[in-house]
A and B are shown apart, each in its own frame.
Chain A
């Protein structure tokens, strides 16, 4: 569990970060909280000759709440949980963040790192797809925006280029009821299955629903069809069944130590049904 030798950088500004990235190309990687990358390096599954620590780069953390909510990429999970205004404006974030890793890791682990690493086990990507978030990345040619729902291409493969850094996440203040439901084997574990749900209600029926699933494919799965199956219904048993069926058509889990595919698909359905029920009760 000793990583190969690497050069460690701790630049003070983004220009410094981008310069190192430009110089070393894909031999360099940025690190936020380090709780995904460092274990991979210690297992020698990731070799990073030039490691750029973002801890001292200013302006990358903090939460601003308006019609849109913006979260700096270096904001830790603990800061998300502690922010009462955010819990008021977008309560699904606190609900989800409390189910990520454990308290010690949440003091180091960041929203940006969780999103940018592209690990299908991470919870934030599915959540941000549910919220239809936009990611801001900065690179040698300046800033650009990417939709969370288009960002994830395959495990550890995202729309961010190697010479770009994720700096901020923003999304419209969510409306209606929410739920983040996650089954895991123990604290700190990745999801066996997790569902992020936002539902709006109008005159007793569902005005709109957004549904994303975690760790059930090699990317997070935004299931447009599942949300559509609820829209216009009273979110009764048959509507929930239809949403679950639509979601099951979109996921593609693999067998691992958590269990075989049949189990994961079944649990995904149960978890989503429970998330819908809870979100609807809050809508």
Chain B
């Protein structure tokens, strides 16, 4: 078919650009087992390293004897902190401005901590070598409760105590106690206290957002290969931010950055788990330098759950004030944040509690104050943003629970309470009390659409009947209606306030158009399953008029991709997607000049139309982008360089603020504590929608991880600091069996500052889903006096709630 006989609609469809449910180009290899993950990399002479890990949560290391391990066939070396110290690598900087032991330096601070690194010919020999390393420990008192830690005489981190015995200043200012890490504030303290003191109605609540873990299907790992001949280090790994890893490796190892190549191959899910730097990476690099051979390190499932990057663990105390009519006047939030043995949170450096200060949510709250205290305990370090932008899940959970509690205090319907407090459409851009400027939103439209879709009044009537039946002994099942209206803050972010260790959080795209009208684009991000190769090609297709099928997207190799800060916090579309559109527009600008030359008209006399430039008022006179690409390389055009390439580094002017309205309908078996999700409705507004099918997939995935967290997924410790949930038998990872049918819906409120109006969607369903599932559990028991019960709502905790409310037959 020739271009010039296709209708305009055909030409648009042919591009498979924005708005098209284009099938994922990645899936051909993923569904056939043809992906190439880190553990698929096999190099000549490659060795395998693995860790001796501490069985204790807090202990002094008296001695490490590796002589027996060195006798194990295949074991080549056992590295300890003493071996790393001369290189200055026995500790490493964390993303949060703290430092972390690479290998135990005199003591251990959490169960599973890395004590020694055994390097062997294969992973079997390494495992046997680990068993043979003899470590003598002397147990120390264990602190697993952050409140107890803040009053304990036990010093967890002697390295953070000043010479006079007082807590030395930390990365975020003065510290109150030797186990305290930082205090971080936002908003106005005194005015907030005054508003609450003088309010007509105040609701208070204390809630624990438990510790959990992102648990990607592929665990963390790497292959380090030091070529001693040319001095180049190649590091393949499960990195959500390969360029940042390259810079950090260069800074801590002293190897010049041009001699380091970091490659993220296919990644089997990240969800925040693969943002940070781990001891395994450092030890593999050192082992490769020492042995001159490539060294692979791959976590097993227990290593992953117990040691790399937990999420949440926030104790949140809230007070919310309102008028008798329900207009919210003030919000106060205090968080005690359990960071474990090292502060390794993955947040922009100036935000030690991430964007927790989005905790005023979707509501017009005039006065607010937030204070977060970070605390050391004997737990694993981490504090990553599990399928959310930095601490946004905690913030949204907090406000959406506080709204429910306020509704109880006011004896008001929780949907109506939300409605009368939403930020109104005409208030955007809206400056929130805790500092953020919300770019756009239309909450009432979304909310009303959601309420109508689920027949909210009908559900409440059904629930009232159910309560009556329950009280009359006709049923043992209660019905909960979970509501959530969330506002996210994603797309970090403006370099003026977002950096990680000084690295500005811009992102990038570089495009090369080939002479025959196809293209390759490389980005500073890295897909872990999000489908970048599909969606970024769609953005470009719409911007430059070449079919998405003719555009290759490449990410993850620092030798070829432009510098960028990677993929997490729903930042790929807001930042790299913007860079892609902007680079595309540079291509188009040059193409316009070429087209005008070819058509023998002035530049301003041609305009872009889908896949071509046409002469204004004479659509029969045109040059397709394909023709222009060929001319760009092969025709001498006066005043224009040959070639058709562009690069854009995009520093966004603001974050984006996706939002959504979710409703969960749940039946709860009071006698067994088993919840049954009858219905889940999710309306998402992520601005301009690039690929509806991928959005729907993201929503399903995010809701499923939300269901996991709300209903059972946790990293639990006993009093001795032992991890009780170190395997998938006890760590809840839902399967298709546990997942309900999801109904998805949307409104579209484009971001006013983003080149294509897109806001990001990968994390919204998780952020909104967790409070929605949790609110449904709470709502089921509201009529019986429940205000707050901590997650996760597994069977026994739900049963306990019913039991404490006196709902069980005690006879």
Interface of A toward B, CB cutoff 8 Å: 1-2, 4-5, 44, 102, 183, 185-190, 192, 257-260, 263, 266-267, 270-271
Contact = CB atoms under 8 A, between A and B. Distances in A.
Given A1-B302, A257-B724, A185 B671 contact: no
Nearest to B124: A2
B716 A187 contact: no
B452 interface: no
A4 B128 contact: yes
B306 to A, nearest CB: 12
Most buried by B among A187, A260, A270: A270
Contacts of A5: 124, 128
Nearest to B796: A259
Given A258-B796, A267-B672, A186 B732 contact: yes
Interface in B784-811: 794-796, 799-800, 803, 808
A1 B724 CA distance: 17
A183 to B, nearest CB: 6
B253 interface: no
A266 B735 contact: no
A192 B795 contact: yes
A185 B800 contact: no
A7 to B, nearest CB: 14
Nearest to B725: A257
With most chain A CB atoms within 10 A of its CB, the pick from B673, B724, B738, B800 is B673
B730 interface: yes
15 contacts: A1-B301, A2-B123, A5-B128, A183-B672, A183-B674, A183-B795, A185-B794, A186-B712, A186-B732, A188-B729, A257-B725, A263-B795, A263-B799, A267-B671, A267-B673
Contacts of B808: 266
Given A4-B128, A4-B131, A266-B808, A187 B735 contact: yes
Given A2-B127, A4-B128, 6 more contacts: A2-B124, A5-B128, A187-B737, A190-B729, A263-B799, A266-B671
Interface string B114-153: 0000000001101110010000000000000000000000
Contact of A186 (B302, B735, B796): B735
B300 interface: yes
Contacts of B735: 102, 186-188
A244 B412 CA distance: 42
A266 B803 CA distance: 10
Interface residues of B, number: 31
Contacts of A259: 794-796, 799
B734 interface: yes
B124 A263 contact: no
B131 A44 contact: yes
B277 to A, nearest CB: 24
- Indicate the member of A44, A258, A263 with the most B CB atoms within 10 Å: A263
A185 B799 contact: no
A255 to B, nearest CB: 10
A186 B672 contact: no
Given A1-B301, A2-B127, A5-B124, A267 B725 contact: no
Nearest to B731: A257
Interface in B710-748: 712, 716, 724-725, 729-730, 732, 734-735, 737-738
A188 B302 CA distance: 18
A186 B795 contact: no
A162 B282 CA distance: 47
Contacts of A267: 671-673, 795, 799
Contacts of A257: 716, 724-725, 730
A217 to B, nearest CB: 18
A216 B786 CA distance: 30
Given A192-B795, A257-B725, A187 B730 contact: no
Contacts of A270: 671-672
Nearest to A257: B730
Nearest to A121: B729
A45 to B, nearest CB: 11
A185 B795 contact: yes
